[in-house]
A and B are shown apart, each in its own frame.
Chain A
Amino acid sequence: MHGVRRGLEVPDLRHRRAAALEQVTQVLEYAVVRMSKLSHLARLEAESIHILREVVAECANPVMLYSIGKDSSVLLHLALKAFHPAPLPFPLLHVDTTWKFRDMIAFRDRTAQRLGLKLLVHVNTEGLAMGINPFTHGSSVHTDVMKTQALKQALDRHGFDAAFGGARRDEEKSRAKERVVSLRSAQHRWDPKRQRPELWRLYNTRMTKEESLRVFPLSNWTELDVWQYIYQENIEIVPLYFARERPVVERDGALIMVDDERMPLAPGERPQMRKVRFRTLGCYPLTGAIESNADSLPAIIEEMLVARTSERQGRLIDHDAAASMERKKQEGYF
């Protein structure tokens, strides 16, 4: 391998032959294994289905949090596969902040009807009565009241003991350490120091009556995996992911779509039609669009391959502080 060098002994011929044989064996073994190996998407799909089934088998009252985004679409697709031919053994829950894009709500209702799903929609009516909105109160108050508090209300009201979510470990640093099955206290708090070890494919779903679980079947997927899977499986997603002419205003460097008349415009500010799309979807005043010509899935994937910013960049709530997501999760944000 390294040739004969001064000062080093010439290796015994038998050793050489054995080493060569070992190499050939390895190459052959490699070829055999490669042929019988599943692709990474097939393995990720199987793992997610396994997680969904495990939690449904062990928990009394699970629910799927449905955020209408692409990850939710993938999660729903996987769940339909996991329990086919039976209908979904749990309802979908959408926590509606009342500030979602109109296209999202239309897509949500269409999907639920098309697939015959049980869809629960929860709005924090107290927050609504207080007039909480992202413009007057800022992103963190709005998110806390209309999203975090609302989620807790809905989970408590229906007594759900496990909630599936589409979060992925590649999204953000503190997510990288969260378990697939993650325990929450009676107050829905996450304690990163008291996480249960998670070994092999053995998930521990046992808890007291007051506690609940958050379950992340897409933990090991990356953003690219999600797009490739949507492409491979031909999964329907909200049209906002595809580039189109849309009315936007530019604020603090972000392109915000003027989705309805509630959007207050500064004096002289005028929405412009630009060809944009969204990499993540949330409340429209808090979600930045990107200029793009990608109007098909392959074009989106192509764009992703050369993308220079991460998808969370479009989410204004992450910019608060370095440890903001970790803190939000401890408080019960999904």
Chain B
Amino acid sequence: MSADPQTLSPELDAWLAAQAHKDLLRFITCGSVDDGKSTLIGRLLYESQVLFEDQLAALEHDSRRLGTQGGALDFALLVDGLAAEREQGITIDVAYRFFATEHRKFIVADTPGHEQYTRNMVTGASTAELAVILVDARKGVLTQTRRHSYLVSLLGIRRVVLAVNKMDLVDYQETVFRRIEQDYRDFSAQIGLTDIVAIPLSALRGDNVISPSAHMSWYTGPTLMAHLDRVPPTRPSSTVAFRMPVQWVNRPNQEFRGYAGLVVGGSVRVGDPLVVLPAGVRSRVARILLGDREAQQATTGQSVTLVLEDHIDVSRGDLLAAADAPAAVSELFEATVVWMGEEPMLPGRPYLLKCGTRTVAATIAPLKHKINVNTLEKLAARQLELNEIGLVHLSTEAPLAFDPYEENRDTGGFILIDRISNGTVGAGLLHGALRRAQDVHWQALDINQAARSAQKHQKACVLWFTGLSGAGKSTIANLVEKRLYALGRHTYLLDGDNVRHGLCRDLGFTDVDRVENIRRVAEVARLMTDAGLIVLVSFISPFRAERRLARSLLGPGEFCEIFIDTPIEEAERRDPKGLYRRARAGEIRNFTGIDSPYEPPENPEIHIDTRDTRAEQAAEQIIRYLRRIGVIDLDGVFIP
């Protein structure tokens, strides 16, 4: 079935034509608890007549049952969706709402104002072009107002509406409004927000939301809806250089090879010279496909498939950029990170970073400082907790093409993903490349690991012993090293306690320090492996993420994780160094197994249960394993 143009009435025809020219504005509403955000959005939906009779009937019913307005329509109930929220009477997540005016369609991100939900506000702000910041006329500019404004500014929103709500509760006085407006302008100028329109309103009573208020003749500016309908959108794409992260290579047959992606900056025409980043290879645009339609050009916001003139290697994760204005490429960055994980962000721990369509391993080190979002103070910090924001240096495992976030959100914004839980634990903004990445190169050496290992008649590797304190790691590692030495092998044993006397003397036992401790030891083990040695590492190493880091530093087959499995009760019973006793007495803090977690390996190469294996048997088992994988061969020189 398709449209029959003959049935079109002239009015409908005009209406459909007008619809085709509507644009889209995404905005975010933010305010403190009880500032009336949900009521305001409910009011916008109600008054823009996007609600249907059954929804209104449900609203009337809910207002009587759950409402806070004494049975009158409670607009907040329209938007507080989840059952948990209704029970608690608060908004706990980002919700998206839709309404339209004469010129525009709107997508509203409704985000909560509680401090613990900074995560949600940043999420809502990331796609918004404008922010409506609510202030309670009775309370004025609060700490929360400043926090919301800072986050809005951080996420690159330049247009702000200061909605001074609940004017009905201050008798619609102009002086109250003017004072709040002035307070806010004084503050917001400090954080770079200058495009501010202040509107006095009452979401509950409907003053200046859609229709001009009858109670505030002193205000001659636009109503909220009128302003949203007319406010210029963000700057035009023509001022930004062409960018398209490659999502997918479309190759249905030998004749066609197209690169699918969303244009996130500038525009592109057939014939334009492009550069593929990070490789730096150049080509020109041969064809542009918009769906199944050929086009001569494409612009920001369009999903396209580009065919290039040359047969060059382009894959998902590459960035196509204007040849005369390419994006920068680096492996070391300065960035702002908003932490969103329940577990703290630990400098030195590897996370996955997704920027555009590229996902790479990335490590944050160092954390320069964190930012108190209420006072904007810079504070020294060793880790970031949930909802904290910090300025960091960040290194990626592979080169990344990017633009500073301030220039392009899509090529400068990134998320961090935890490698174990797969959760999205952080969001970040790239500010720029740090020079070190470009200046320090790897020194290529002629004598390599293979040469050094062959000289010693062995294959270099790391034997990583992990387990609780008192599990028997050092005892077994010591026996293994003696056996290897007896077999004429070249070894070194890195012991947790010994290393802490020198290399890691400056580190304590907090999670942050434990991560750094393991990182250093892993790097040392890698150097020693490179020297051709069999390296035995005997460390509690309680976190999977760091053991994975150590593994990632080494080649395949070079890392052997050995889990010395002794239950906590047994280790505590043995307590060879009396540490458990002291930990239980509260003399030692952050002790693994007592008040700091131990994450057992999921797939260790060797698993030794010390309850039914003596240390000598364990050592024998490990030697057999090394023979089997060819680290030492069977006819090794035996030195009596």
B-contacting residues of A (Cβ < 8 Å)? Answer: 1-2, 26, 29-30, 32-34, 36-47, 49-50, 53-54, 56-57, 80-87, 169-170, 173-174, 176-177, 192-193, 195-202, 204, 206-208, 219-220, 222, 224-225, 228, 231-232, 234, 236-237, 239, 241-242, 296-299, 301-302, 305, 307-310, 312-313, 322-323, 326-327
Contact = CB atoms under 8 A, between A and B. Distances in A.
Contacts, number: 232
B22 A174 contact: no
Contacts of B50: 222
A30 B238 contact: no
Nearest to B428: A199
Closest 3 CB pairs of A and B: A81-B291, A173-B81, A86-B252
A199 B126 contact: yes
Interface in B445-464: none
Given A40-B105, A42-B301, A53 B248 contact: yes
A307 B52 contact: yes
Contacts of A301: 12, 16
A269 to B, nearest CB: 26
A242 B20 contact: no
B303 A82 contact: yes
A196 B423 contact: yes
B325 interface: no
B354 A42 contact: no
B211 interface: no
A217 to B, nearest CB: 11
B79 to A, nearest CB: 7
B29 to A, nearest CB: 14
14 contacts: A29-B236, A34-B233, A39-B20, A46-B302, A49-B303, A53-B260, A54-B357, A81-B292, A85-B252, A176-B95, A198-B123, A199-B427, A200-B409, A296-B3
B83 interface: yes
With most chain A CB atoms within 10 A of its CB, the pick from B237, B260, B409, B423 is: B260
Interface stretch (B413-421, B542-550, B573-581): B413-421
B316 A57 contact: yes
Given A46-B303, A82-B303, A232 B20 contact: yes
Contacts of A199: 122-123, 126-127, 413, 415, 424, 427
Q: How large is the interface on B (under 10, 10 to 19, 20 to 34, 35 or more residues)?
A: 35 or more
A164 B322 CA distance: 33
A44 B107 CA distance: 11
A204 B84 contact: no
Given A84-B292, A86-B252, A297-B1, A176 B235 contact: no
A241 B291 CA distance: 26
B396 to A, nearest CB: 15
B97 interface: yes
Contact of A197 (B8, B20, B340, B413): B340
A85 B292 contact: yes
Contacts of B303: 45-47, 49-50, 53, 82
A82 B248 CA distance: 10
A296 B252 contact: no
Contact of B250 (A33, A50, A85, A193): A85
Given A228-B16, A298-B16, A308-B52, A86 B251 contact: yes
A192 B82 CA distance: 8
Contacts of B84: 192-193
B119 A197 contact: yes
Given A176-B96, A220-B107, A297-B1, A201 B299 contact: no
Contacts of A2: 218, 220
Contact of B54 (A83, A84, A169, A310): A310
A86 B250 contact: yes
B638 interface: no
B375 interface: no
B7 A296 contact: yes
A196 B340 CA distance: 9
Contacts of A53: 247-248, 260-261, 303
Interface of B is mostly: mixed
Given A42-B302, A85-B252, 7 more contacts: A36-B236, A44-B24, A50-B262, A57-B248, A202-B414, A298-B4, A310-B54
Contacts of B292: 80-81, 84-85
B394 to A, nearest CB: 16
B286 interface: no
A49 B303 CA distance: 7
A298 B54 contact: no
B145 to A, nearest CB: 23
B305 A298 contact: no
B235 A33 contact: yes
Interface string B287-305: 0010110000001011101
B441 interface: no
Contacts of B123: 197-199
Interface of B: 1-4, 7-9, 12, 15-16, 19-24, 50, 52-55, 62, 78-84, 86, 93-98, 100, 104-105, 107, 119-120, 122-123, 126-127, 218, 220-221, 230, 232-238, 247-248, 250-252, 256, 258, 260-262, 264, 289, 291-292, 299, 301-303, 305, 316, 340, 352, 354-355, 357, 409-410, 413-415, 417, 422-424, 427
Nearest to B61: A322
B98 A170 contact: yes
A43 B24 contact: yes
Contacts of B238: 32, 36
B81 A39 contact: no
Given A199-B126, A309-B52, A236 B1 contact: yes
B161 to A, nearest CB: 15
Nearest to B412: A200
A79 to B, nearest CB: 11
A50 B247 contact: yes
Nearest to B11: A302
B96 A219 contact: yes
A228 B21 CA distance: 12
Contact of A195 (B93, B107, B247): B93
Given A39-B21, A309-B52, A57 B232 contact: no
A260 B93 CA distance: 45
A326 B93 CA distance: 14
Contact of B413 (A57, A85, A200, A327): A200
A169 B20 contact: no
B168 to A, nearest CB: 22
A150 to B, nearest CB: 26
A234 B251 contact: no
A37 to B, nearest CB: 5
Contact of B410 (A49, A201, A299): A201
Nearest to B267: A36
A37 B23 contact: yes
B62 A322 contact: yes
A236 B2 CA distance: 7
B295 to A, nearest CB: 12
A82 B105 contact: no
Contacts of B423: 196, 204
Given A39-B21, A53-B260, A32 B236 contact: yes
Contacts of B247: 50, 53-54, 57
Nearest to A86: B252
Contacts of A200: 126-127, 409-410, 413, 415
B211 to A, nearest CB: 20
A178 to B, nearest CB: 9
Given A81-B291, A204-B417, A313-B54, A326 B16 contact: no
A56 B79 CA distance: 32
A207 B105 CA distance: 34
Contact of B20 (A37, A41, A206, A312): A41
B424 A222 contact: no
- Tell me which of A44, A56, A84 has the highest count of chain B C-beta atoms within 10 A of its own C-beta: A84
Contacts of A326: 81-83
Given A57-B248, A301-B16, A38 B122 contact: no
B417 A206 contact: yes
A38 B302 contact: yes
